[in-house]
Amino acid sequence: MLIAFLTAPEGVEQVELTEPWQAVLDHGAAPQLVSTKPGRIQAFHHLDKADTFAVDMDLDHAQAEHYAALVLPGGVANPDALRLDARAVAFIKAFFDAGKPVAAICHAPWTLVEADVLRGRTLTSWPSLRTDIRNAGGTWVDEPVVVCTQGPNTLITSRKPGDLKAFCTALIDGLRSTPDAQETNWKPAPHS
């Protein structure tokens, strides 16, 4: 089962990429790093440069239909850059249109605002996004993780790196109900 992790070339919060990535690997699914251009992305630890990671697929070649779910890591610069890229916005919207799970943490819901997929949805994020989310028709709540099944797909959101354990657990639980999981009889490994 292939899971897309979408990031910009710079600005992703490293731990919000690596911890969900490891959770997906640990439970027998296959993460794939998708970005706006090929090469490597530069991750950050808050405002400091961290590691770089190889891009598996660029947006000129990635298609939502090839993935079971989408993970949107945060960082301030990452979603800000993605929401300005029409290909990234279309890629995100395609997961909602197809009814596939989407998981977004911290500032990542900015991309969901841009994709216009929040009307009638309940979610959380970094607190500075609450007005943007409300203006986009969503209901913002201050909780470690929110799993919203209102609408065509499951939307999993968390506020910050401190919520990653709950976020990763909800992500793996959300993958169980995907058509890909049912078709392949995917059974995630037990939580460690």
Residue 191: the pLDDT is 52
- Residue 141 falls inside a structural domain: yes
pLDDT tens digit string along 54-81? 999 999 999 999 999 999 999 999 999 9
DSSP character for 66?
G
Write out the residue range of the structural domain in which residue 62 sits.
2-182
- Residue 189 falls inside a structural domain: no
Q: Which of helix, strand or coil describes residue 77?
A: helix
- Residue 191 falls inside a structural domain: no
Domains held by the chain: number: 1
More confident residue, 176 or 31: 31
Residue 7 has pLDDT above 90, yes or no: yes
For residues 49-76, b (16+ Cβ closer than 10 Å) or e, as one string? ebeebebbbbbeebebeebbbbbbbbbb
CB contact at 8 A, 5 and 31: yes
CA 161/CA 9 separation, integer angstroms:
20
- Residue 32 falls inside a structural domain: yes
Residue positions annotated with a catalytic role: 107
Q: How many residues does the chain have?
A: 192
Q: What is the CATH number of the domain that holds 28?
A: 3.40.50.880
